[in-house]
Chains A and B, each alone.
Chain A
Amino acid sequence: MSRPVLHARNVEKSFGETRVLDGIDLDVDAGETVVLLGPNGTGKSVLVSCLAGGTTPSDGTVEVLGDTPASRPGTTSFLLQDALCLDGLTGRENVAFYARLNPSFTDRWRELVEVFEIGDQLDDPVEHYSGGMRRKLELTIALSVDAQLYVLDEPTAALDLRMVRTVHHQLSELRDAGKAVLVTTHLPMDADIADRIVFVTGDGVVASGPPDAIRADVPPVVETSLQNASTITDGVIDGEVFRGDGVVRGIVRPDTDPDSLVSHLPNARVTEPTYSDLFNYYVNLDTS
């Protein structure tokens, strides 16, 4: 049986009297991409900081390649949201700083700045960068490190859809090269690259599994026009409908026949859950 690259059990973290993490279990294997989905404010950044060695948990155990995280260089590359860029330096000087700081930094940054389309701005001060450019520079720095585990906190935040796909491609290449990749996000489309999805709320891990399996656990979804929203609320979980692109969607209650719910409505249909539906089901609805 293979040993996971990242192995975390019963991870807890408190700041004073405030408990941010309560008993999180998580493994990430070599050649696996795990996407951690959850709403803002549920401690995802604190969790990944604990897993990458940036913070020590108040309780529980975290092991990377069998050791305490960050006990030796080269095991983990950690992208912490908005923490890497040094505003007073140019993009190139930022890269040079982290290259000297991290013995596992490679020349891959030359390729990545072109892939992320920031090569022409590399000599501009970072304080003049947009949010998206800063994220691309941080990604360049994090992905230039040759590590066994990549822990990336919201790597696609502030990026346009085309660039999100580019990031997905880069992360898939890492996974294909046998690296373990852990990504946090609240963007459902990031689940496209997941070998395993983990949903986290304030209550901890509420669901975990391969995308197909986790999708199979979600009841059917009904979709109808905005005007019909009130007519389906009785048949969907929590009476809650979610808006999007001129339609509303609701996740059908287990005791309700989806077809009967839409049969009398024009412009209504039963459909497969999307990743957004999965996010709403596991994060926003009371499914207990």
Chain B
Amino acid sequence: MADDAVDAEQTAVSTADVSVSDENAVSAWIDQAGAFAVRTVRDVARSWTVLGTAVGLPAVMYLLLTATGDFSPTRTGTFAVGIAVLGAMISSLTVFGSQLAVDAEDKRFHAYRAMVVSPSADVVGRMVAAVGVAGVSLSVALLVGVASGAPIGVDGVVPALAAFGGLVGVSVVFAAAAVPVVVAANNERYAQFVLSLVAVFAFMLTGYNGILPSVAVLDESVVRLLPNALATRTMALQLVATDGVGVTQTDGWAGLLAVYGLFSTGVVVLLVRVGLYDRGVSG
């Protein structure tokens, strides 16, 4: 009798109380994404290492670079934009990647799996935070440029939206690039070091994110298709307030950047699902 009662209660629990409706599932997904976003921003806001690297370093780089010569206003403007985008790249890589690395190192994904956390909510939440910090980094570098006399400004909603699109696109792509490093490193300090290098190498290989193609290691025909160059050239064309900024933009840049962003998000969700949320069926 008592056993039957326990059985009946368990059946009821398994079919009703614990079941989650579609509506609740969406609400839970949003809550989980929000949890990761808020947690990431809180953590980064208190980390002088990450703030110094992601926000401070690009501004200092800009000041050092422009102090090395007498550059035209157009050149200082494009330097400011190129280095500001570098800041966004470093931010998205390190913010997204270091948080993943901390969780992987502490074996926290075992707990997340047991809580039935959605890998896509995890990725989107962290990515929103990474894009937010990247926006702060970009803004600080641009403001430093403005303060030092670079002709930077925004003339209307459309240019602002175009620049914002460039920021989101490049941030998402570089956040995604952090995942293979994190999965391979399984160590926060090592991962953070490598992630910063990835951003700097990308900046150098593409000729300051495509604003100085003459110093790029990669061929211009390749550089003009890469997401950091697409985003930087978009912002340079929209934000540098001089006639002719000395760079050309690839036709269909917005669509290309959107494809990069969507593809990266899909790949990163897959990588996080397989690399971090997979429960290791075969050990």
Question: A and B: partners?
Answer: yes
Please, which residues of chain A bring their CB within 8 A of the CB of B205? Answer: none
Please, which residues of chain B bring their CB within 8 A of the CB of A83? Answer: 106-108, 110-111
Binary B-proximity of A162-194 (CB < 8 A = 1, otherwise 0)? 000000000000000010000000000000000
Please, which residues of chain A bring their CB within 8 A of the CB of B18? Answer: 65, 72-75, 148
Closest-CB distance, B14 to chain A (whole angstroms)? 5
* Given known contacts A3-B7, A16-B283, A101 and B114 CB-to-CB distance under 8 angstroms: no
Binary A-proximity of B98-113 (CB < 8 A = 1, otherwise 0)? 0000000011111111
By beta carbon, the residue of chain A nearest B31 is: A100
Which of B10, B111, B281, B283 has a CB less than 8 Å from the CB of A65? B10
By beta carbon, the residue of chain A nearest B2 is: A2
Say yes or no: B6 contacts A31, CB within 8 Å.
Answer: yes
Q: A102 at the A/B interface (Cβ < 8 Å)?
A: yes
Which of A66, A86, A102 has a CB less than 8 Å from the CB of B115? A102
Instruction: Pick out which of these stretches binds chain B: A54-62, A228-236, A247-255, A275-283.
Output: A54-62
Which of B28, B39, B111 has a CB less than 8 Å from the CB of A80? B111
Say yes or no: B106 contacts A82, CB within 8 Å.
Answer: yes
Q: B189 at the A/B interface (Cβ < 8 Å)?
A: no
Closest-CB distance, B100 to chain A (whole angstroms)? 13
Please, which residues of chain B bring their CB within 8 A of the CB of A52? Answer: 114
9 closest pairs, A vs B, by CB? A54-B110, A100-B35, A56-B279, A78-B114, A88-B43, A2-B3, A14-B283, A74-B18, A52-B114
New A-B contacts (7) at CB < 8 Å, excluding given A54-B111, A70-B113: A1-B3, A54-B114, A56-B280, A80-B110, A82-B106, A84-B108, A100-B34
- Which residues on A are within 8 Å of B, measured CB to CB? 1-3, 5, 13-16, 29-31, 49, 52-56, 58, 65-67, 69-76, 78, 80, 82-84, 86, 88-89, 93, 96-98, 100-103, 125, 148, 151, 178
